[in-house]
Amino acid sequence: MIQATGPTAGAAQPHPAPIRFRGGKAVSAVPILFFIAWAIVQSGLLGIGDTAGLVVGMLVGLVLGMLLVKGDWATYADAVVEGMAQKVAVTAIVAWLWAGMFAATLQVGGFVDGLGWLADALGLGPALFPAVTFLLAALLATGIGTGYGTVIAFVALFFPAGVALGADPVLMFGAILSGAVFGDNLAPVSDTTIVSAVTQDSDVGGVVASRFKYAIIAAVLAFIAYLGFGLASSGAAVDADAAALFRAQSNAAGLLHLLPIALVIGLAIRGRHIIEAISAGLILAIVINLVFGLAAGTDMLAFRVAADSWAAAIFGGWPLVQVVPAAAAGVGGSLYDGPVGFATLAVLILLVLGGAQVMIRGGGFQALQDWLLRKVARSVRSAEVTMVTVTAGINAAITINTAAQIAIAPYIATIGKRFNLNGYRRANILDANTSALGYIFPWAGGVLVGYTQMQALATTYEWFTPDMVVEPIQAWPWVFHGWLLVAVFLFSAWTGFGREYTTDRVSKGGATL
C-alpha cells in the first residue's frame, strides 16, 4: 500500500525553497488551470479523446508556468521533478500495469463469454445489467482495495458483455466508476482509506466503521438509480447479427476465471500487497487457460518474427514464436497488450503531479487555506461545508485521488481541529470527496484509465464499434454513487448528521502527517 512519505506529507520533511511567481501565489496554479482548460476544450468541445493530446496540454501548461517564475527557473524545474517522483504516482501506475495484464489474460480466456452465458442463464437483460455491474464492481473494489484496478478489469470484461446484451454504454461505464468509488471509499486496504485515517490521527478500523452509514446510503440510492435508468434506457444500438454472434460464443467454461478473481480478492483481504495478489491471480488464470484449452500460449505471450528474417528460419515453430509478415513483427499477447496501453496515461499522470507540486511550492495551496480560515470557516457548519468543497476543488487539480488527499490532508486537519471535530469525522469528509470526484471529472485518472482500456475493445471484438466507446466528457453525470456520496456529505455538513467532536470519543491512530 502507499506509504505516507510524499514530499507534502509531513513536518519531518525538509522545507524546499519556495517558488516565486510574477503576480503572486495564485499564479502557481497556472499550469494546472491551463491543463484543465485544455482538457475541457479538447474532450468537451472538440470531442477528441486522445490521451497523448492531454500530455501535450500539460507540457505546454508547465512551460507557460515557468515563464511566469521570478528568478532562477531551476527551482521550478526541481519542483516538477519532485512531484513526478512521488511514490503515490508510481504506485498507481504499477497497479494499472498489473491490473492490465490480469484483465487482458482473463479476456483472452473467454471470461466475457462466460458472463454472456451466465446472463442468459439468469435471464439478466440490458435493463438490470448496469445495476448488477455496480454491485459487483463495488464488491471487487472493496475486496482488492484499488478502484483503478477495478475499472480496468470491469471495462475489459463486464462492459463489453453488458453492451453486447444491449445495455446503455454510458450507463455501464458510470456503474463501473461508481463501484470503484465505493471500494476506494470503504475498503480497509484502500490507499485512500489508509491515508485519510493516518493523516487525521485515526485508526483504519474505526474510520471504516464510522463511514459505513454514509457509504451505504449513497450506494442504495445509486443502485435504485441504475435500476431506474436501466429500465428507462433505450440501450445500445448493437447490430442483431453481432448480438447473435456474442450469444453464440457464450461459453460457461469462461466462468472458471471466477477462481483467479476470488484468489485476488481473498489475498487482498488477508493483507497481501496488491502486486502479490494480482500476480497470484494472473498465474492461476494462465494455468486455467492452458489446462482447459481456453487460450493458447501465444494468446498470452507471442514473439512475432518477420517471415523474411533469419530468426524465422531458426526459431520458427518454437513455443511462443510466431512467424508473421514483416509489418506485423513484434511482441504480442495479453501480457503485452494489457499494460502497454497505459504508457501514455502514466506519463500524463506524472506530469499532472508535477504541476500540482508547482502549485504547492508556489504557495497556492497555502493561500487557499489561509483565505478559507479567515473568510469562510467561521462556524462548525461553514467549516465542514468548506472541508467538503475544498477537497472537491483540489481533486479538480490533482487527478489521482490519493495524491489529492495527501496534498489537502494537513489543511483538513487544521480546519477540523480548530472546531474540535473528531478525527473519524475529518477522515470521512476527506476520503469521501477525494474518492468520489477522482472518478467524475473527465480528466481524472479513474475516468481516463477506463477510457484507455475501452479503446482497446474495438480491436478485441468484431462486433464492438468505435461509437460504443464512451468519451470521458460523457461519463460524469452517470457516476451516481460518486455524486450521491458528495451530496450525502454536504447534507451531513449542513445538518450535523453523524458529526462527532473530540469530546465524544477518542479516535485511535498515528500521528498527523
Top-ranked range on mean pLDDT: pick from 141-150, 406-415, 490-499: 490-499
Secondary structure tally for the chain: helices H, strands E: 25, 3
Which pLDDT score, from 0 to 100, does residue 215 have?
A: 94
Let me know: does 60 contact 53? Beta carbons within 8 Å: no
Which pLDDT score, from 0 to 100, does residue 241 have?
A: 63
pLDDT tens sequence across 401-458: 777 777 778 778 888 888 899 999 999 999 988 888 889 988 888 898 899 889 888 8
Contacting residues for 465 by C-beta, under 8 A, at least 6 apart? 458
Residue with cell 467549516: 383
| Amino acid code (one letter) for 11 | A
How confident is residue 510, by pLDDT bands cut at 50, 70 and 90? Answer: very low
Assess whether pLDDT exceeds 80 at residue 472: yes
Report which of 126, 17, 134 is spatially closest to residue 71, judged by C-alpha positions. Answer: 17
Give the Cβ contact number of residue 366 at 10 Å: 17
| Amino acid code (one letter) for 389 | T
Beta strand 302-306 pairing with 330-332: antiparallel
How confident is residue 130, by pLDDT bands cut at 50, 70 and 90? Answer: very high
Contacting residues for 397 by C-beta, under 8 A, at least 6 apart? 29, 32, 33, 36, 356, 359, 404
Please compute the mean of the pLDDT values over residues 227-236 and round it to a whole number: 82
The Cα 96–Cα 451 span in angstroms is 13
Distances (CA, A) of 255 to 98, 166, 243, 333, 425: 21, 21, 20, 21, 41
Assess whether pLDDT exceeds 90 at residue 39: no
User: Chain-wide mean pLDDT for the chain?
Assistant: 84
Per the document, the length of the chain is 513
Let me know: does 394 contact 355? Beta carbons within 8 Å: no
Please compute the mean of the pLDDT values over residues 492-510 and round it to a whole number: 81
The Cα 131–Cα 261 span in angstroms is 20
**Starting at the edge strand that comes first in sequence, how are the strands of the sheet with 321-324 ordered?**
321-324, 302-306, 330-332
Segment among 1-5, 120-124, 167-171 with least mean pLDDT: 1-5
Assess whether pLDDT exceeds 70 at residue 213: yes
The Cα 348–Cα 281 span in angstroms is 28
Cα 182 off chain centre by: 12
Report which of 262, 247, 230 is spatially closest to residue 127, judged by C-alpha positions. Answer: 230
Write the DSSP symbol of residue 326: G
pLDDT tens sequence across 56-89: 999 999 999 999 999 889 999 999 999 888 776 7
Assess whether pLDDT exceeds 50 at residue 110: yes
Cell of 89: 504516482
Which pLDDT score, from 0 to 100, does residue 189 have?
A: 65
Residue with cell 507540457: 59
The Cα 311–Cα 453 span in angstroms is 33
Which pLDDT score, from 0 to 100, does residue 448 have?
A: 87
Which pLDDT score, from 0 to 100, does residue 9 have?
A: 41
Please compute the mean of the pLDDT values over residues 165-186 and round it to a whole number: 92
Which pLDDT score, from 0 to 100, does residue 1 have?
A: 36
Report which of 173, 145, 234 is spatially closest to residue 479, judged by C-alpha positions. Answer: 173
With 0-12 CB in 10 A as exposed, 13-18 as middle and 19+ as buried, what is 30?
A: buried
Report which of 429, 447, 354 is spatially closest to residue 398, judged by C-alpha positions. Answer: 354
Assess whether pLDDT exceeds 80 at residue 116: no
Which pLDDT score, from 0 to 100, does residue 10 have?
A: 42
Which pLDDT score, from 0 to 100, does residue 316 have?
A: 87
Which pLDDT score, from 0 to 100, does residue 97 have?
A: 84
How confident is residue 337, by pLDDT bands cut at 50, 70 and 90? Answer: confident
| Amino acid code (one letter) for 275 | I
Buried b (16+ CB within 10 A) or exposed e, 434-472: bbbbbbbbbbbbbbbbbbbbbbbbeeebebbbeebbbbb
Report percent pLDDT > 90 for the chain. 31
The Cα 309–Cα 312 span in angstroms is 5
Report which of 28, 13, 7, 14 is spatially closest to residue 363, judged by C-alpha positions. Answer: 28
Report which of 83, 22, 38 is spatially closest to residue 357, judged by C-alpha positions. Answer: 83
Report percent pLDDT > 70 for the chain. 91
Please compute the mean of the pLDDT values over residues 467-480 and round it to a whole number: 90
How confident is residue 511, by pLDDT bands cut at 50, 70 and 90? Answer: very low
Please compute the mean of the pLDDT values over residues 230-249 and round it to a whole number: 69
